[in-house]
Structure 1
Amino acid sequence: MRMLRFTLFLISLFVLSISTYSNSPVKSADKGEHLKYVIHYGIVRGGKASLKLKSDKINGKEVYHATLTGRTVGLFNTLYRVKDTYESFFDKETLLPVKAIRNIREGSYKRYNEVTFDREKNQINSQRSGIKDVPVGIHDILSAFYFARAYYFNSDLEIGQVVKIQTYFADEEFLLQFRFMGYENVNSKIGNVKCYKFIPIVQTGRAFEDEDDMKIWISADANKVPVRVQFDLFLGSLRCDLINFSNFSTSSLRKN
């Protein structure tokens, strides 16, 4: 069960950076973007994930509001019920977060926390742990991927390049790192898609044997949508696939 919790956490961590990129990295948020994913452990359907993006306001200021949910289904839900929700409210210009929410329900374990970001003082204020000093430009885990997609997921990427973004997650600083491995075509539910392939640098020994046991494919088009996430675990392979999307350029997702 600990492995399942850790795996679903990682799915929530990496199935995030969703929206159309042009001059504004999240230009079509006002339309109510929505992506849906299904999670399989071997041939067994184990969970689903969903992310919605819209415009919102905090203290009278217009921001983007991303909401990610991940939950178990079927047999997995019977054995160990998980429903996790992550929310990020981030600035439309800088993509830096103003507020982040983490609402975790995993079996009998429950955890809720809100974190606000003070950019002038370079501090965060956590409901659970209070005020802390943090590095300049720190992100929450959701805003980090929108930022990465806006500034790193493009033709300037070089094979072997490691993207690093400092985040604040689960009430501590967390260095997010992923390595670009080149381009690869993925045959998915939405068609044959040309993708950027990344390998997040993960901690070995807990659920992974090697650093490259997790892979993520992001469409190499205007949408830059996570198409597939795959985990090679001690007890087998787990895969998360995009199955549905709305308010995206449908034709550009498919490779000609």
Structure 2
Amino acid sequence: MKRSTLLGTFFFAVFLVSCSTSFLKYEKADQLKKNEEFEEAVKIVKPSEPAEGTAGTTPAPAETPTPAVTAKEAAKSVGKKTEKSAKPVAKTPVKTAKKTKGKAEQKAAPEVTRRQPDIEDEAGFEGRRPVVDPFRVGEEVVHDVHYFKVSAGELRLKVEPFSMVNNRKSYTFAIEIRTSSLFSTFYSVEDRVETFVDYEDLVPRVFQLHVKESGQLREAKMLFDVEKNTATFWEKKVTKDHGEEEKKQQWEILPYTQNVYSAAFYMRNFQWEPGKEIAFRVGNDNENLVFSGKALRREILDTKLGPMKAIVIQPNIVLKGKFKPIGDNFIWLSDDDRRYILRIESKIKIGTLVSEVVSINPGKQ
């Protein structure tokens, strides 16, 4: 997987770009955000922003977002509604068919189907949804990103209120990263990506990336058309060295494909155990990849929040059927049903880049 993640962008921006102390100035910055083709294909309705001191209100599209529930709770709820709304049916005499000797009618056994796609683990799921939903609206996990023990910036992983994407209830996951005041004297970074993941099938339909840095301004959008199994990526940017640039990519994807940003949240749905390997599809940069993560061990992780139980995972990718190791990279997930990302460690040519938790807001129950 190419280093197009925010963490990778952050590192290369801070350490490999010439010094600067402010964001890039561009008089047509608002035009970077405009994309008529994307806006015609996608309608995103978010909850309205609450005024200070008042509760927020939700949008009023075809379906109103509701708090996350487990698949079992949803099934029970549907069953209760059906029982209450069902009209009584008049009883009428029914003639019973005579059984044919030796050929008594037998009920067909229900067909058991495996969770799709086949490459994914199905433990802890009912269909596409997890039995226990690890996400809560309002969740926010904050990391300190440091290099050689010097704080370089802050990473935030957020679960924001549900949105409606083309009239489908969707999780709103956001990742934000910005440089510390010290490193901003060399290079300023203030990036944000939001990815919208369908509540029912856990497939991301859209992401929107906003990059504001000393060396570049960039707006990128991606649409996964799950009916046509195609991915479309648009990018507009302006840099100090090359000025204005635009790019569009479109390629075929396989069903149930994640994007590089939703993958960080999607991996939390699985039940990780030492020795277990988890795989799922990822589409990025005109390629179809397979994320492959192996749980190495359980350990107690020392954090600023105190000792925390964690599971250590080593990620890799498979590209065109070939295993592609991505170096010494490790992820620590909390060893509970929330599976927060507690630590990310990436060994590079000189030293190790580390992002580790400093605060957790668990969100609403």
Please classify the TM superposition score into its range, dividing by the shorter chain length. 0.7 to 0.9
SS for the counterpart of 1:145 is helix
Contact 1:45 1:74 in 2 (8 A): no
Aligned pairs for 1:57-68 (under 5 A) are: 57-68=164-175
Distance in 1 (alpha carbons) for counterparts of 2:310 and 2:215: 38
**Residue of structure 1 equivalent to 2:297:** 182
Contact 1:62 1:92 in 2 (8 A): yes
Structure having the higher strand fraction is: 1
Aligned pairs for 1:73-152 (under 5 A) are: 73-127=180-234, 128-150=247-269, 152=270
Find the structure with the greater CA-based Rg. 2
Tell me the CA shift for residue 6 of structure 1: 7.8
Distance in 2 (alpha carbons) for counterparts of 1:236 and 1:187: 20
What is the one-letter code of the residue matched to 2:262?
Answer: S
Contact 1:50 1:68 in 2 (8 A): yes
Q: Which of 10, 25, 33 is equivalent to 2:133?
A: 25
Please tell me the root mean square deviation across aligned C-alpha atoms, in Å: 3.1
Tell me the CA shift for residue 81 of structure 1: 2.4
TM-score (norm 2): 0.55
> Structure 1 residue 55 and structure 2 residue 162: aligned?
yes
Q: 1:43 to 1:202 in 2, by over 3 A?
A: farther
Contact 2:268 2:338 in 1 (8 A): no
Contact 1:11 1:229 in 2 (8 A): no
Identity %: 21
Q: Which runs of 5+ in 1 are unaligned?
A: 13-18, 204-209, 250-256
Q: 1:5 to 1:117 in 2, by over 3 A?
A: closer
**Residue of structure 1 equivalent to 2:7:** 8
Q: 1:222 to 1:26 in 2, by over 3 A?
A: closer
**Residue of structure 1 equivalent to 2:313:** 198
What is the one-letter code of the residue matched to 1:28?
Answer: R
**Residue of structure 2 equivalent to 1:246:** 361
**Higher alpha-carbon deviation: 133-142 or 19-28:** 19-28
SS for the counterpart of 1:242 is strand
What is the one-letter code of the residue matched to 2:248?
Answer: S
- Equivalenced residue count is 228
Q: Which runs of 5+ in 2 are unaligned?
A: 12-67, 71-129, 235-246, 319-324
* Per-residue CA distance 1:70-121 (angstroms, 9 max, x = gap): 1221332222322322211011121101111122344423332111111111
SS for the counterpart of 1:149 is helix
Q: Which of 13, 35, 41 is equivalent to 2:147?
A: 41
